[in-house]
Amino acid sequence: MEKKVCAVSGAEPSEWCPDTITEIYASDQLPLPKENDLWQNLMIDTWSGLKASDACSEFVEEKFTANISDSTARKWIKQTDDGKQWAKAMHFPKPIVFSPNDTCKADSSRPILKFLGLTDNQTITTDKLEINIQAYVENNFKNVSLQYGLGKKPDDWITLVDPVNQQYKSPELFYTWDLAKLPAGVVTLRLYMQNVEGGYAERKIQLNLQVPTPTPTLTPTPTLTEIPTQTELPTETLVPTETFTPAPTETPTLTPAPT
φ, ψ of residue 17 to 5 degrees: the values are -130, 75
pLDDT at position 213 is 74
Does the domain at 112-209 match CATH 4.10.490.10? Answer given as: no
Annotate 29-58 with b (16+ C-beta within 10 A) or e (fewer): eeeeeeeeeebbebebbbbbbbbbeeebee
pLDDT tens for the 259 residues of the chain, in order: 445 555 444 444 444 455 555 666 676 666 667 767 888 899 999 999 999 999 999 999 999 999 999 999 999 999 999 999 999 999 998 889 999 989 999 888 899 999 999 999 999 999 999 999 999 999 999 999 999 999 999 999 999 999 999 999 999 999 999 999 999 999 999 999 999 999 999 999 999 999 987 666 666 666 666 666 666 666 565 555 555 555 565 655 555 566 4
Residue 95: asked if its preceding bond is cis (omega within 30°), the reply is: yes
pLDDT at position 36 is 74
Amino acid at 74: R
Amino acid at 167: Q
pLDDT at position 240 is 57
* Cα(73)–Cα(87) distance, integer angstroms: 11
pLDDT at position 106 is 86
Q: Note if the pTM is more than 0.75.
A: no
Q: Domain limits of the chain?
A: 32-89, 112-209
* Cα(250)–Cα(48) distance, integer angstroms: 147
